């Protein structure tokens, strides 16, 4: 290892504290980054102060920080999962009453809605909706700046190719999408949802 910075101390003790801060492969060798002397001490001091401040915020000791943070991560993961389930259930309750939805000649109901959520939510909601017979679910979730994520799905007793429908609605508007006959995903301008509904209900 070569650690020459232009300064040549008479003894290693003149360096004082030496702290390795990084080790990474570099061109077939090993690059070691370190701090020495006052810089190393100041870095330790800064990191200790940050650890102390964090432990005070979390009402625990520095020694217990890793376990405490891991427990918080687990709790956050569980809370997010519960929130996602709640949002799905609320959305389903709002959409499941398909009696007022437009009907196709074969009697299938077309539920075309923008939903407050994300692509994962509308995928989950669509999967639940099409467990019922006679449902075509055209769902979108805004993704910002006039764009949205889309999930088009239909019940097994409905004979409409969702991948083709999404592609036909998305392409003229600069969007993208496609998928299986019963389930498709894509993205693009929010107008894609209305375009798809018009293609079905024309």
Predicted pLDDT of residue 2: 58
Domain residue ranges of the chain, discontinuous segments joined by +? 12-57, 92-201
Pick the CATH number of 92-201 from 3.40.50.970, 3.10.310.40, 3.40.50.150, 3.30.70.20: 3.10.310.40
How many CB atoms are closer than 10 A to CB 110? 20
Cα–Cα distance, 175 to 147 (Å, whole number)? 9
Predicted pLDDT of residue 187: 95
Predicted pLDDT of residue 97: 66
DSSP single-letter state for residue 182: S
Written in H, E and C, the secondary structure of 119-142 is HHHHHHHHHHHCCCCCEEEEEEEE
User: Of 123, 136, 145, 138, which is closest to residue 189 (Cα–Cα)?
Assistant: 145
Q: What is the pLDDT along the chain (202 residues), one digit of tens a residue?
A: 556 666 677 887 777 888 888 899 888 888 888 888 889 889 989 999 999 999 999 999 999 999 999 999 999 999 988 887 887 787 777 676 666 788 899 899 999 989 888 888 889 889 988 988 999 999 999 988 889 999 999 999 999 999 999 999 999 999 999 899 999 999 999 999 999 999 998 7
Cα–Cα distance, 20 to 26 (Å, whole number)? 16
147, two tokens = 């764009």
Q: Considering the entire predicted model, what is its pTM?
A: 0.62
């Amino acid at each position: 290892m070569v650690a020459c910075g232009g300064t040549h101390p008479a003894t290693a003790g003149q360096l004082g504290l030496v702290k390795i801060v990084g080790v990474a492969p570099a061109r077939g060798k090993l690059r070691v980054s370190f701090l020495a002397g006052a810089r190393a001490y100041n870095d330790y001091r800064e990191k200790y102060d940050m650890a102390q401040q964090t432990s005070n915020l979390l009402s625990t000791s520095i020694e217990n920080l890793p376990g405490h943070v891991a427990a918080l991560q687990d709790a956050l993961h569980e809370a997010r999962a519960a929130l996602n389930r709640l949002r799905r259930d609320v959305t389903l309750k709002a959409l499941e009453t398909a009696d007022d939805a437009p009907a196709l000649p074969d009697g299938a109901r077309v539920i075309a809605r923008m939903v407050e959520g994300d692509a994962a939510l509308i995928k989950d909601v669509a999967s639940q909706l099409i467990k019922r017979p006679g449902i075509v679910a055209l769902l979108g979730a805004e993704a910002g700046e006039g764009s949205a994520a889309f999930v088009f799905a239909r019940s097994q007793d409905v004979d409409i190719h969702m991948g083709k429908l999404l592609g036909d609605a998305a392409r003229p508007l600069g969007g993208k999408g496609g998928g299986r006959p019963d389930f498709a995903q894509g993205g693009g301008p929010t107008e894609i949802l209305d375009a798809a509904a018009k293609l079905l209900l024309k």
